């Protein structure tokens, strides 16, 4: 009798099925069920980078809110892996915004954003910090897809193919997001952060 009850019970839907149901219906209950399975992982990722309980709890909730729109835009093949990368990127952006991360690699952007480095003087550190802040603001100003692809490509050195896998975007879209993101970031830097 006990075994019979179990054999008739339907297994819970897997992650991708919940993603599909949420995209199809827009029902937040499906999203809640999905996120609940991975809340601990997301929180632990946040703790690893933010190293603060309250900030990590806030970041976990912000990521849940982010999923509500992100899942409607991206075709995801491995939800847990995608969520892990998304959580990590979210934390890194927070750290940069709070100036805790000092090494944003400006030189990786091609063409270079800041070209005149010959006349650096005693205030080089202060100027570099200004540059970093400007890049952070410029990245934050980009559409989410461009920002995510630029971060993965330049800051995490992922290939086009890896980015396509992680984001669920087509390869051609990834290339387009990176190309347009670079152009938009360069325009932002020229407009808001004139060379000294």
Nearest to 147 by CA among 89, 62, 192, 65: 89
For residue 188, give its domain range. Answer: 102-196
pLDDT in tens, 68-123: 888 888 888 899 999 999 999 888 888 887 753 344 444 444 444 444 444 444 45
The total number of structural domains that make up the chain: 2
pLDDT in tens, 160-185: 888 888 888 888 888 888 888 888 87
Among 83, 101, 119, where does a domain finish? 101
φ, ψ of residue 46 to 5 degrees: the values are: -60, -40
Task: Name the packing angle between helices 79-97 and 160-167 (round to 10°).
Answer: 110
**The pair of three-digit structure tokens given for residue 9, joined into one six-digit string:** 């019970």
Residue 1 included in any domain: no
């Amino acid at each position: 009798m006990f075994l019979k009850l179990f054999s008739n019970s339907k297994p819970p839907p897997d992650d991708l099925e919940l993603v599909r149901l949420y995209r199809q219906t827009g029902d937040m209950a499906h999203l809640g069920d999905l996120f609940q399975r991975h809340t601990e992982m997301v929180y632990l990722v946040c703790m690893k980078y933010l190293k603060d309980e309250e900030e990590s709890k806030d970041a976990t909730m912000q990521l849940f809110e982010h999923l509500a729109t992100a899942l409607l835009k991206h075709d995801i093949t491995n939800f847990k892996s995608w969520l892990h990368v998304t959580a990590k990127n979210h934390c890194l952006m927070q750290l940069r915004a709070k100036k805790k991360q000092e090494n944003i690699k400006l030189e990786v952007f091609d063409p270079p954003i800041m070209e005149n480095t010959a006349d650096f003087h005693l205030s080089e550190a202060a100027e570099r910090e200004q540059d970093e802040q400007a890049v952070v603001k410029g990245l934050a100003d980009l559409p989410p897809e461009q920002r995510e692809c630029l971060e993965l490509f330049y800051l995490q050195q992922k290939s086009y193919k890896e980015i396509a896998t992680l984001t669920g975007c087509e390869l051609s879209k990834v290339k387009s997001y990176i190309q347009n993101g670079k152009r938009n970031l360069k325009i932002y830097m020229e407009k808001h952060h004139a060379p000294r």
